[in-house]
Amino acid sequence: MSRRIPCSLTIAGTDPSGGAGIQADLKTFQELKSYGMSVITSVVAQNTTGVQDIHHLPIGMLEAQLDSIRSDMPVHAVKTGMIANREMMKRIGEWLKDESSPYVMDPVMVAQSGDPLIQPEARQFLRENLLPLTAIVTPNIPEAEDIIGEKITTLEDMKLAAESIVKSFGAGAALIKGGHMEGEAIDYLFDGTTMHVFSSDRVETKNTHGTGCTYSAAITAYLSQGVPLVDAVEKAKNYVTAAIRHSFSLGKGSGPTNHWATREEVFHYE
Ligand SMILES: Nc1ncnc2c1ncn2[C@@H]1O[C@H](COP(=O)(O)OP(=O)(O)O)[C@@H](O)[C@H]1O
Ligand SMILES: Cc1ncc(COP(=O)(O)O)c(N)n1
């Protein structure tokens, strides 16, 4: 009897230091037992201290990779991370329109170091053309502010932003992440009808490089297994919290999340 192998695809930029981007996504897929595949948008020279250089792949090469997947591989859930410019967004949007698996968007705009990862004029295109295709979008506070065009300073503002991103911008669901607030790490998910809250104690650490990538990749991996959206977010929150709790002091800057210590802790919950 053949068993369905859950397959997750990430479309994103790279991080040679292994903490964020494609590398974080593939590590997360692997730990959560989803077969990982990747389409690279940009090669980014970066590490725990920041971004040193960026090379965007030619559009033809992006299309070729998307075709390689479509012509041969099953996809049960797909996520996007860094998509640097409008032309890439346009091609990826066309590909996603023909995709039936759930689409998770991490609307990556700047690296944690503050270095920009998308061109300013591409933000509007992302809002207007890719957001409506999502099953869920996972902005942090600055990204949510950029999408709605308003400041977010309170928990109430976070909830309003989640609602607005679904009702006014057409996302399937919106998860506003509170990593950039103070106190407990609280995230709000609006799924179109209900507001859900996920919270954890804040871990006192500077090692949070790649937390957003890890979180959205974990949601993708659970969706690829057929886990319903709200449960997928709850499980992914447990995963990212453990990954931050066990994060490493590697490199001179903001160190990466720890995937292998997390595996045992998260599977212990289940
Ligand atoms: N120091 C921390 N301790 C515990 N959870 C955190 C911490 N920093 C961020 N988180 C959580 O990690 C996830 C990623 O959030 P965030 O840092 O806001 O995203 P991003 O990496 O996109 O900026 C969220 O669930 C957030 O609540
Ligand atoms: C290629 C790439 N994509 C995304 C991020 C953001 O990472 P974080 O999860 O720390 O916000 C990054 N630094 N590099």
Q: Nearest to residue 85, comparing CAs of 46, 48, 132, 119?
A: 119
Instruction: For the chain, list the domains and their CATH numbers.
Output: 7-203+213-265 (3.40.1190.20)
Q: Give the ligand 2 atom nearest the CA of 42.
A: 1
Mutual angle of helices 229-245 and 260-269, in 10-degree steps:
130
pLDDT digits (tens, 9 = 90+) for 157-200: 999 999 999 999 999 999 999 999 999 999 999 999 999 999 99
Please report the pLDDT score of residue 202 as a whole number.
96
Residue 1's pLDDT band, with cuts at 50, 70 and 90, is very low
Work out the average pLDDT over 148-157. Answer: 97
Pocket of ligand 2 (CB under 6 A): 12-15, 20-21, 44, 46, 81-82, 108, 111-112, 117, 209-213
Catalytic pick among 10, 211, 214, 220: 211
Among protein residues, the one with the nearest Cα to ligand 1's atom 16 is: 179
CA 20 to ligand 2 centroid distance, Å: 5
CA 142 to ligand 2 centroid distance, Å: 14
- Cα separation, 214 vs 188, in Å, equals 17
Please report the pLDDT score of residue 270 as a whole number.
56
Catalytic pick among 27, 212, 220, 241: 212
Residue 261 has pLDDT above 80, yes or no: no
pLDDT digits (tens, 9 = 90+) for 224-251: 999 999 999 999 999 999 999 999 899 9
Q: Would residue 211 show up in a list of annotated catalytic residues for this protein?
A: yes
Residue 218 has pLDDT above 80, yes or no: yes
Among protein residues, the one with the nearest Cα to ligand 2's atom 10 is: 210
Please report the pLDDT score of residue 246 as a whole number.
92
Pocket of ligand 1 (CB under 6 A): 140, 177-180, 185, 187, 200, 202-203, 205, 208, 211-212, 215, 237, 240-241, 244
Three-class DSSP labels, 181-233: CCCCEEEEEECCCCEEEEEECCCCCCCCECHHHHHHHHHHHHHHCCCCHHHHH
Q: Give the ligand 1 atom nearest the CA of 142.
A: 23
Does the ipTM exceed 0.90?
yes
pLDDT digits (tens, 9 = 90+) for 113-128: 888 899 988 999 999 9
Q: Nearest to residue 159, comparing CAs of 171, 141, 146?
A: 141
Three-class DSSP labels, the chain: CCCCCCEEEEEECCCCCCCCHHHHHHHHHHHCCCEEEEEECEEEEEECCEEEEEEECCHHHHHHHHHHHHCCCCCCEEEECCCCCHHHHHHHHHHHHCCCCCEEECCCCECCCCCECCCCCHHHHHHHHHHHHCCEECCEHHHHHHHHCCCCCCHHHHHHHHHHHHHCCCCCCEEEECCCCCCCEEEEEECCCCEEEEEECCCCCCCCECHHHHHHHHHHHHHHCCCCHHHHHHHHHHHHHHHHHCCCCCCCCCCECCCHHHHHHHHHHC
- Structure token pair of residue 85: 């410019």
Among protein residues, the one with the nearest Cα to ligand 1's atom 4 is: 202
Prediction pTM value: 0.96
Catalytic pick among 177, 214, 255, 257: 177
Please report the pLDDT score of residue 267 as a whole number.
64
pLDDT digits (tens, 9 = 90+) for 38-77: 999 999 999 999 999 999 999 999 999 999 999 999 999 9
CA 78 to ligand 1 centroid distance, Å: 21
Please report the pLDDT score of residue 26 as a whole number.
98
Q: Give the ligand 2 atom nearest the CA of 112.
A: 10
Say which residue the tokens 């998509």 belong to.
Answer: 83
pLDDT digits (tens, 9 = 90+) for 29-39: 999 999 999 99
Residue 266 has pLDDT above 80, yes or no: no
Quote the mean pLDDT of the chain. Answer: 95
Sign of the Cα torsion 142, 10, 6, 70 reads positive
The answer to whether 37 touches 79, Cβ cutoff 8 Å, is no
